[in-house]
Amino acid sequence: MKFHVETWGCQMNVLDSQRMTGLLEARGFERTDDPFESDILLLNTCDVREKAESKLYSELGRFSAWKREKRGRVIGVAGCVAQHAGTQILERVPFVDFVVGTGNVERVPEAVENALAGSRESYLELDRDSPVYQFRSIARGSDFQAFVTVIEGCDQFCTFCVVPFTRGRERSRRAAEIEAECRDLAARGFSEVTLLGQTVNAYACPEEGLSLAGLLERLCSIEGLRRIRYLTSHPSFVTTEFVEVLARQPRIGRFFHLPAQSGSNRVLSRMKRRYTREAYLEIAADVRRRAPDVVLSSDFIVGFPGETDADFRDTLHFVEEVEFGTIFAFLYSPRPGTAAARWGRDAEVPRALASERLALLLDAQRRVQARGNRALEGAVVDVLVEGESKFGHTLSGRTSCNRVVHFRPIPDKPARPGEYVAVRIDRGLENSLAGSPA
């Protein structure tokens, strides 16, 4: 029997889909890339922004005829919307066979088998202790890059964010288990791992009390791992020890994703982010001082309820001051269940104004980015080749600081995905770099 998994959202959802795929393959099901060719369809959903639920229902609508066409076809909803909306999905859409929340990825094969036997169920318990999973059966999306969960859930309850409701309380995995997974990956030829967590730097080993800094140092001793990345950090948990380890260990990715969300103290406090603009700037200065090759990146929310022109100007100046390597900026989207969604319409920023601010912010960042990329012209960077580039006969890959590099390989020395190539940068563009092998 064939199955297909559709994935929306962040790296964690991508990893969860890889886990589901591996577990189903281990039970003898066969993967297909075409949803309409499958017998079992899984929708792994994201709930962070925009009309996540309506997107789910419109996708389900797209598959309703497929489902009716043949008896025995199974459709299941997984991920954050499943966790949040739960049994409502089963009530509203009679042809959905099961919902599996984010804490029950391991139970997907059982859910599928129960559905094939004719039952309709939900699997929604959350918040088990230190998460354990069968890492050897994960169907990795690459032969050389892998995601590794180190901490699940989030205890922060930022007033805009749905994650604490969809992913539950914070649970760190045991360091010994993470190390075993990374050793296993390195032995199988993976050279880059990305440690994942919503607040990855809140990591605390439940057995040894090890912090993210300690864990990274330990993983740096694994032979074969050339790049160890980590996503996503929260400014409140950045310690001096962490910045020191970053400075000392070149194998730790030179890319520090540290979402600020806003450059205005008033907005940060309404978001319940627990740091100030000044505290963030101090971290940025400390990173620049001790680890000058590390590139900072950030997320911003524009049009958060109550954001004034002055607040937005603070954000704009903040972006110009920090000079991020890249930013992800989003229009605020009210999420059911969160504190900000209950504040009423008075504080709402009109959509048109919020969109205008978003365009201004992205424009400012484009200028910063183009300057930063031009400054790299002439430099030689280490590129992990990921595949063919969209632009003609060139390859593309990433630097340790996560910049995209396109280059034309030397004809008698082709490079394959997974190889590291030293590339001299000829041109710094807005969103990428172009060069040739050094």
**Residue 198 touches ligand SF4, criterion: CB under 6 A:** yes
Cβ of residue 186: shortest distance to ligand SF4, in angstroms? 29
Nearer to ligand SF4, 191 or 262 (CB): 262
Nearer to ligand SF4, 199 or 298 (CB): 199
> Which one, of 259, 265, 264, 331, lies nearest residue 299 by Cα?
259
| Residue 105 contacts residue 70 (beta carbons within 8 Å) | no
Nearer to ligand SAM, 35 or 259 (CB): 259
C-alpha 268/C-alpha 261 separation (Å) is 8
Residue 48 interacts, among ligand SAM, ligand SF4, none and using kind-specific CB cut-offs from 5 to 8 Å, with ligand SAM
Residues 136-155 that bind ligand SF4 (CB under 6 A): 154
C-alpha distances in angstroms, 37 versus 58, 94, 117, 226?
A: 19, 22, 21, 39
Cβ of residue 392: shortest distance to ligand SF4, in angstroms? 39
Q: How many residues bind ligand SAM (CB under 6 A)?
A: 18
3-state secondary structure of 153: coil
Residues 6+ apart with CB under 8 A from 278: 265
H or E segment to which residue 196 belongs:
strand 192-196
Query: Of the ranges 22-30, 314-322, 331-339, 430-438, which one interacts with ligand SAM (CB under 6 A)?
Result: 331-339
Instruction: Select from 234, 254, 335, 357 the one that contacts ligand SF4 (CB under 6 A).
Output: 234
Nearer to ligand SAM, 10 or 247 (CB): 10
C-alpha 39/C-alpha 70 separation (Å) is 9
What is the strand order of the sheet 326-331 is part of?
255-257, 295-302, 326-331
Query: Of the ranges 36-44, 69-77, 86-94, 330-338, which one interacts with ligand SAM (CB under 6 A)?
Result: 330-338
Residues 104-163 that bind ligand SAM (CB under 6 A): 160-161, 163
| Residue 267 contacts residue 313 (beta carbons within 8 Å) | no
| Residue 294 contacts residue 401 (beta carbons within 8 Å) | yes
C-alpha 255/C-alpha 402 separation (Å) is 6
Cβ of residue 299: shortest distance to ligand SF4, in angstroms? 8
- Residues of this chain that interact with ligand SAM (CB under 6 A) are 10, 48-49, 160-161, 163, 198-199, 232, 234, 259, 261, 299, 301, 330, 332-333, 335
Q: Give contact residues for ligand SF4 (rule: CB under 6 A).
A: 154, 156-158, 161, 163-164, 198-199, 234
